[in-house]
């Protein structure tokens, strides 16, 4: 039934109510359609397609040693290594693993990586543009720990402390340093034990919740399980551990994740070139399909001192403001919240829904004049209802 035709034997007030009901239904359907379209830009859900087996670290106490064509040791890690994985060394040489025999992986040089450029004002994601920022426009980093038991033997007394590993304290120092550099931080201390194949399934829920606040980056903080010399170094005479960035290459956002990692490396190379151990691109997802700026970092190994790891992550933190375009405003100084993003989202929402409703009316009324008559009749009916209700009081 078309809106501009009045059914026989129906009063004017019944017709107005009928029109209003139809109008509300159309508006609700269009609003729901808009929300569905916006939801299409939500993090990619690939849970059923993720190969969780490739994310499991070695638990036999062993580790892989990656060597080049001249038998030079490039990398040692407890991460599962597969043919096709790649490694970007501290000097930006890029290697690809060709085969694995026992605990030894063989790699060949494929080229030299160009230094990544640092953007002064990184572009927000599409959902941030459409919906506005939920954190008042401030730069925020989200941190969490998939392996919440990971600890450092020399200082924590054990390599694993169930649900309360020393890795939380490393994350705490990371948080404090980032805040001192002008970044807001949401540090989740939620445990995801046991340390098994489903740890990333459990931590995925945490990652999704953190992303609801629209952080600029999402970082999963870990530690490796190799001999202490792999990560040990000194900066200005003080012992620290290096930090390795791990990018899962089996996720649809691996290119964006890698670009973010390379930008961090470029920033560190200018100020603290000894801090970053390298970038490992390994088979796996590590929940990095959830965001284009999601990374996993290994802060030392279980054989290193946690204090050295804390000093290492504090130096690593200094790269993030440069990559994210933060000018160094201390979060202790009140920052006025901007409503620009909220107003932009409201305007876009009104325009989208209004345009859709106008199109709906145009199709059902046969022309602009009929659409205008329907809109005018709708508001006239609303005012009649309001006046009638007031008169009955």
Strand partners, 107: 97
- Summarize the confidence of residues 361-388 as an average pLDDT: 59
Higher pLDDT: 18 or 236? It is: 236
Q: Is pLDDT at 23 greater than 70 in this prediction?
A: no
Choose the weakest-confidence range: 112-121, 224-233, 304-313: 112-121
Higher pLDDT: 281 or 118? It is: 281
229 burial level (CB within 10 Å; 0-12, 13-18, 19+): exposed
- CA distance linking residue 253 with residue 384, whole number of Å: 55
Supply the pLDDT for residue 359. Answer: 60
Mean pLDDT (the chain) is: 81
Given a contact cutoff of 8 angstroms between Cβ atoms, the answer to whether 90 and 273 are in contact is yes
Supply the pLDDT for residue 58. Answer: 87
pLDDT band at 307 (very low <50, low <70, confident <90, very high): very high
Taking residue 257's Cβ as centre, other Cβ atoms within 10 Å add up to 26
Q: Is pLDDT at 195 greater than 80 in this prediction?
A: yes
What are 310's two structure tokens? 């804390």
- CA distance linking residue 171 with residue 146, whole number of Å: 12
Choose the weakest-confidence range: 64-73, 311-320, 338-347, 349-358: 338-347
pLDDT band at 370 (very low <50, low <70, confident <90, very high): low
- Summarize the confidence of residues 197-211 as an average pLDDT: 97
- CA distance linking residue 292 with residue 281, whole number of Å: 15
Higher pLDDT: 339 or 34? It is: 34
- CA distance linking residue 112 with residue 110, whole number of Å: 7
Supply the pLDDT for residue 56. Answer: 86
Supply the pLDDT for residue 326. Answer: 85
- CA distance linking residue 61 with residue 70, whole number of Å: 27
**What's the angle, vertex CA 178, arms to CA 236 and CA 314, rounded to 5?**
25
> Which pLDDT tens digit goes with each residue over 102-125?
999 999 999 999 999 886 566 655
- Summarize the confidence of residues 260-266 as an average pLDDT: 98
pLDDT band at 131 (very low <50, low <70, confident <90, very high): very low
* Three-class SS state of 253: coil
pLDDT band at 88 (very low <50, low <70, confident <90, very high): very high
Supply the pLDDT for residue 139. Answer: 86
Choose the weakest-confidence range: 20-24, 95-99, 237-241, 366-370: 20-24
- CA distance linking residue 51 with residue 284, whole number of Å: 7
Taking residue 178's Cβ as centre, other Cβ atoms within 10 Å add up to 27
pLDDT band at 158 (very low <50, low <70, confident <90, very high): very high
> Which pLDDT tens digit goes with each residue over 30-52?
555 554 444 434 444 444 456 67
Q: Is pLDDT at 3 greater than 60 in this prediction?
A: no
pLDDT band at 374 (very low <50, low <70, confident <90, very high): low
Q: Is pLDDT at 15 greater than 90 in this prediction?
A: no
Query: pTM for the complete prediction?
Result: 0.72
Supply the pLDDT for residue 41. Answer: 42
Taking residue 373's Cβ as centre, other Cβ atoms within 10 Å add up to 15
- CA distance linking residue 160 with residue 59, whole number of Å: 12
Choose the weakest-confidence range: 282-291, 334-343, 350-359: 334-343
**What's the angle, vertex CA 242, arms to CA 240 and CA 247, rounded to 5?**
155
Given a contact cutoff of 8 angstroms between Cβ atoms, the answer to whether 239 and 276 are in contact is no
Higher pLDDT: 347 or 308? It is: 308
**What's the angle, vertex CA 378, arms to CA 372 and CA 381, rounded to 5?**
135
């Amino acid at each position: 039934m078309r809106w501009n035709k009045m059914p026989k034997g129906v009063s004017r007030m019944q017709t107005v109510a009928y029109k209003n009901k139809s109008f509300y239904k159309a508006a609700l359907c269009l609003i729901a359609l808009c929300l569905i379209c916006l939801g299409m830009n939500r993090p990619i859900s690939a849970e059923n397609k993720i190969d969780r087996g490739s994310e499991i670290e070695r638990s036999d106490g062993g580790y892989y040693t990656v060597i080049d064509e001249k038998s030079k040791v490039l990398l040692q890690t407890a991460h599962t290594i597969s043919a096709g994985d790649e490694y970007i060394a501290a000097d930006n040489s890029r290697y690809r693993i060709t085969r694995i025999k026992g605990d030894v992986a063989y790699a060949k040089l494929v080229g030299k990586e160009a230094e990544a450029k640092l953007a002064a004002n990184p572009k927000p994601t599409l959902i941030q543009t459409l919906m506005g920022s939920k954190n008042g426009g401030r730069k925020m980093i989200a941190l969490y720990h998939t392996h919440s038991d990971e600890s450092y033997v020399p200082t924590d007394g054990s390599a694993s402390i169930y649900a309360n590993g020393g890795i939380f304290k490393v994350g705490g120092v990371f948080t404090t340093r980032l805040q001192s550099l002008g970044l807001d931080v949401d540090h989740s201390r939620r445990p995801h034990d046991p340390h098994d194949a489903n740890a990333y399934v459990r931590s995925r829920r945490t990652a999704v919740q953190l992303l609801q606040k629209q952080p600029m980056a999402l970082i999963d903080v870990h530690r490796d399980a190799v001999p202490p010399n792999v990560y040990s170094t000194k900066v200005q005479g003080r012992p620290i551990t290096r930090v390795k960035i791990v990018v899962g290459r089996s996720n649809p956002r691996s290119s964006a994740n890698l670009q973010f990692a390379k930008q961090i490396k470029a920033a560190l190379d200018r100020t603290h070139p000894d801090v970053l151990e390298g970038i490992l691109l390994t088979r796996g997802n590590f929940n990095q399909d959830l965001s284009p700026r999601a990374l996993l970092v290994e802060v030392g190994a279980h054989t290193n001192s946690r204090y050295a790891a804390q000093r290492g992550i504090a130096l690593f933190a200094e790269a993030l403001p440069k990559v994210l375009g933060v000018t160094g405003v201390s979060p202790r100084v009140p920052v006025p919240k901007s409503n620009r993003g909220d107003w932009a989202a409201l305007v876009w929402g009104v325009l989208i829904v209004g345009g859709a409703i106008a199109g709906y009316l145009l199709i059902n009324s046969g022309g602009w004049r009929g659409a205008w008559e329907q809109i005018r009749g709708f508001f006239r009916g609303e005012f009649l209802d309001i006046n009638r209700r007031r008169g009955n009081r």
